[in-house]
Amino acid sequence: MTDPLVIFTPSGKRGRFAVGTPILSAARKLGVDLDSVCGGRGICSKCQIAPQFGEFPKHGVTSAQTALSDWNTVEERYKSIRGMLDGRRLGCQATVQGDVVIDVPPESQVHKQVVRKEVTARDIIMDPATRLLFVEVDEPDMHEPSGDFERLAAALEAQWETGPITAPLAVLKKLQPTLRKGNWQVTVALHQGHHDQVARVMDIWPGLYEAGLFGLAIDLGSTTIAAHLCDLTDGRVLGSAGVMNPQIRFGEDLMSRVSYVMMNPGGEEEMTRVVREALNRLVVELARDAEIDSAAIVEAVIVCNPVMHHLLLGIDPVELGQAPFALAISGALSLDSHELDLRAMNTSGRIYILPCIAGHVGADCAAVALSEEPGKQDDLTLIVDVGTNAELLLGNRTRVLACSSPTGPAFEGAQISNGQRAAPGAIERVEIDPVTREPRFRVIGCDLWSDDPAFAEATVATGITGICGSGIIEAIAEMRMAGLVDSKGLNGSAEQTGTARMIPEGRTHSYVLHDATATGGQMIAVTQGDIRAIQLAKSALYAGARLLMDEFGAERVDRVVLAGAFGAHISPKHAMVLGMIPDAPLDHVRSAGNAAGTGARIALLNRASRSEIEETVGRITKVETAIAPRFQEHFVNANALPHATDLFPELRKVVTLPDMLFNTSGDGPDGRRRRRRS
């Protein structure tokens, strides 16, 4: 008689097994992804399966109710104490009795998929570097003397085929009491880095440890530090938190922080200390909010720009402030948490820092490349990570180029007269009626437009405090579309534009978006200086993109991806009206949200992705904007709105831009616009 057939879904793997074979053993033999922490001892419940009964013509079997052994006392005890869904069995307890179809639910799969919300994004396959293993260790024997660690290593090899292991002193110190407390049964957190020949025991608990393992994906930006706390078994994000980077007090932007170090020798040590302290506070806060022990956070992946990279590591960043912008190290780093003073996480915790691409293009850009995968696209894709220093990637399957461009902080609301960071009360959306030239706007913290009768009351708490980066972009683009600002970026006067909202300011004019001065409030206007600041920033961004296109030999791009928290809020149409980004069909411009943070999360949850990005970064061609002769030419041409020479045909299919120039010598005597001669 032939052995019964066992078919696993969703993998479709099948094989014949002798009657009495545990389903967990059958799964292991076939390479089916079925989890187990306790090694089949019936105590971890990770191996839960959902047997399917009935006729399965597709598989050519009938799966009878008698196809598995009877429900046993181990399962009954587990279900009564911990609960288990009806119809579920423990794979290590149920044995094969006849042909059977076994479904492995997602939560029982080790390499489960973490579905990303973004439609275009790939899912993450779970394969974390650290996992929990329950193990029974031989007791010491005077006749065969050996160390407790050696017997732990032998047990791990015998029960889990771990290969050779090592352990830091912190673990060795607690090894003996833990083994004895657990009555020679312990759970270890075993870390196997993608380059490690030898796995390392990161922590050890008596008996079966079930409180979980956690990791952090950290995006260490020059302005804010954002971290996601992730469950290392299922990839869930348990919490996210952000704090301001405390280094801001040493300089708003990166170069001013480098200058601070140049002027204050040893200043980098202070900056290193404050950023590490901020990270420790974030760890404590995230663990507290998620109600987990911060010592269960065993890994962190950090992405950051090159200056932050060096300041975090305690490396003097001065070389990054001057040509040839040499990094102390560009490769990926695997470190112990105590090397970075990250005391709040597990004392044996591991830190992985993605590789930097070049002296101006950091590990954050590498993380964007990991998340967005430009090198796997057929379409030529431009990815723009907008920040104080924009980082750009351009590529397709043939090759990928990268550069950075010094946009400055204008896009974040700095250098703007009523500018502010994105916070409640900041104007973030603007529309201007092209006929009446009257604006309406929305502020962060309120869903209503300002022309809604309930708006005033709804914004009492936040007030209307200023204009943030996305707000100023929309305001200027709307002004351009409404004929209030010309293609050279010059504001018209009240006479030229026909609206009293244009008020004189010295020899220039400002457009009043909001005026509450009559009630003791603020006036928020877009000044000529604001427009100049945005022109400089957007010209740098566009020139960087054009330089990459030159290098690629492309006249146009197929797709544009706006990355970064700011990118998530920019309207593609308005960005293109300003000429921030190259012309492309508007429905081919999308936001990728915090792609750098997502890249960090991928690297945290999937070991192979670390090798992948290290290899990818090695193949990315770096283009240095600072020394490129054509940068200046592109920069000057990009000063116009949207551009002096590039025609933006896709944009013009959907937007009409008034073609006029205001009198640059001031208001014309007749107050009329001067038409451009064509």
Closest CA to 430 of 469, 377, 400: 469
Residue of 5, 6, 27, 44 interacting with ligand FES (CB under 6 A): 44
Nearer to ligand FES among residue 234 and residue 667 (C-beta)? 234
Token look-up 């040509």 returns 323
Q: Does 38 bind ligand FES (CB under 6 A)?
A: yes
Nearer to ligand FES among residue 92 and residue 275 (C-beta)? 92
Q: Where are the beta strands (DSSP E) in 104-198?
A: 113-114, 124-125, 130-136, 165-166, 185-191
Closest CA to 404 of 536, 543, 309, 535: 543
Least separation, in Å, of the C-beta of 185 and ligand FES? 13
Q: Does 23 bind ligand FES (CB under 6 A)?
A: no
Touching ligand FES, residues 524-553 (CB under 6 A): none
With CB under 6 A as the contact rule, which of the stretches 38-46, 382-390, 466-474, 506-514 interacts with ligand FES? 38-46
Angle in degrees, 0-180, between the axes of helices 267-290 and 254-263, rounded to the nearest 10: 130
Q: Which long-range contacts (CB under 8 A, 24 or more apart) does 10-13 make?
A: 10/103, 10/104, 11/104
Least separation, in Å, of the C-beta of 210 and ligand FES? 11
Separation CA 569–CA 471 (nearest Å): 9
Residue of 7, 27, 43, 536 interacting with ligand FES (CB under 6 A): 43
Touching ligand FES, residues 63-92 (CB under 6 A): 90-92
| CB contact at 8 A, 383 and 398 | no
Nearer to ligand FES among residue 84 and residue 512 (C-beta)? 84
| CB contact at 8 A, 20 and 36 | no
Q: How many CB atoms within 10 Å of residue 550?
A: 16
| Backbone φ and ψ of 518, nearest 5° | -60, -30
Q: Does 109 bind ligand FES (CB under 6 A)?
A: no
| CB contact at 8 A, 541 and 390 | yes
Half-sphere exposure of 497 (CA within 13 A, CB side): 31
Least separation, in Å, of the C-beta of 39 and ligand FES? 6
Separation CA 491–CA 478 (nearest Å): 12
Q: Does 47 bind ligand FES (CB under 6 A)?
A: yes
Beta bridge partners of 488: none
Residue of 25, 28, 33, 42 interacting with ligand FES (CB under 6 A): 42
Q: Does 94 bind ligand FES (CB under 6 A)?
A: no
Nearer to ligand FES among residue 234 and residue 452 (C-beta)? 234
Least separation, in Å, of the C-beta of 90 and ligand FES? 5
Nearer to ligand FES among residue 70 and residue 339 (C-beta)? 70
As given in the structure block, the two tokens for residue 172 are: 């060795």
Residue of 13, 14, 46, 228 interacting with ligand FES (CB under 6 A): 46
Touching ligand FES, residues 608-667 (CB under 6 A): none
Output the CA torsion 590→593→594→599 (10° steps). Answer: -60
Least separation, in Å, of the C-beta of 310 and ligand FES? 45
Least separation, in Å, of the C-beta of 24 and ligand FES? 6
Touching ligand FES, residues 338-367 (CB under 6 A): none
Least separation, in Å, of the C-beta of 115 and ligand FES? 25
With CB under 6 A as the contact rule, which of the stretches 42-50, 368-376, 437-445, 624-632 interacts with ligand FES? 42-50
Helix (H, G, I), strand (E, B) or coil at 590: strand
Least separation, in Å, of the C-beta of 78 and ligand FES? 7
Beta bridge partners of 56: 61
Residue of 45, 371, 420, 594 interacting with ligand FES (CB under 6 A): 45
With CB under 6 A as the contact rule, which of the stretches 33-41, 177-185, 351-359, 522-530 interacts with ligand FES? 33-41
Nearer to ligand FES among residue 88 and residue 480 (C-beta)? 88
Kindly report whether the peptide bond that precedes residue 658 is cis, defined as omega within 30 degrees of 0. Answer: no
Helix (H, G, I), strand (E, B) or coil at 614: helix
Residue of 4, 40, 413, 579 interacting with ligand FES (CB under 6 A): 40
With CB under 6 A as the contact rule, which of the stretches 41-49, 237-245, 446-454, 476-484 interacts with ligand FES? 41-49
Site for ligand FES (CB under 6 A): how many residues? 14
Q: Does 599 bind ligand FES (CB under 6 A)?
A: no
Which amino acid belongs to residue 225? I
Token look-up 């020059």 returns 222
Touching ligand FES, residues 461-520 (CB under 6 A): none
Q: Does 36 bind ligand FES (CB under 6 A)?
A: yes
Separation CA 378–CA 206 (nearest Å): 52
| CB contact at 8 A, 229 and 287 | yes
Terminal Cα-to-Cα distance of the chain (whole angstroms)? 91
Which amino acid belongs to residue 647? L
Nearer to ligand FES among residue 82 and residue 677 (C-beta)? 82
The contacts of residue 142 (CB under 8 Å, 6+ apart) are none
Least separation, in Å, of the C-beta of 401 and ligand FES? 49
Least separation, in Å, of the C-beta of 209 and ligand FES? 13
The contacts of residue 32 (CB under 8 Å, 6+ apart) are 8, 11, 13, 26, 104
Least separation, in Å, of the C-beta of 248 and ligand FES? 49
As given in the structure block, the two tokens for residue 157 are: 């090899």
As given in the structure block, the two tokens for residue 641 are: 């709105």
Least separation, in Å, of the C-beta of 17 and ligand FES? 17
| CB contact at 8 A, 557 and 544 | no
Nearer to ligand FES among residue 44 and residue 156 (C-beta)? 44
Q: Does 233 bind ligand FES (CB under 6 A)?
A: no
Chain residues binding ligand FES by CB under 6 A are: 24, 36, 38, 40-47, 90-92
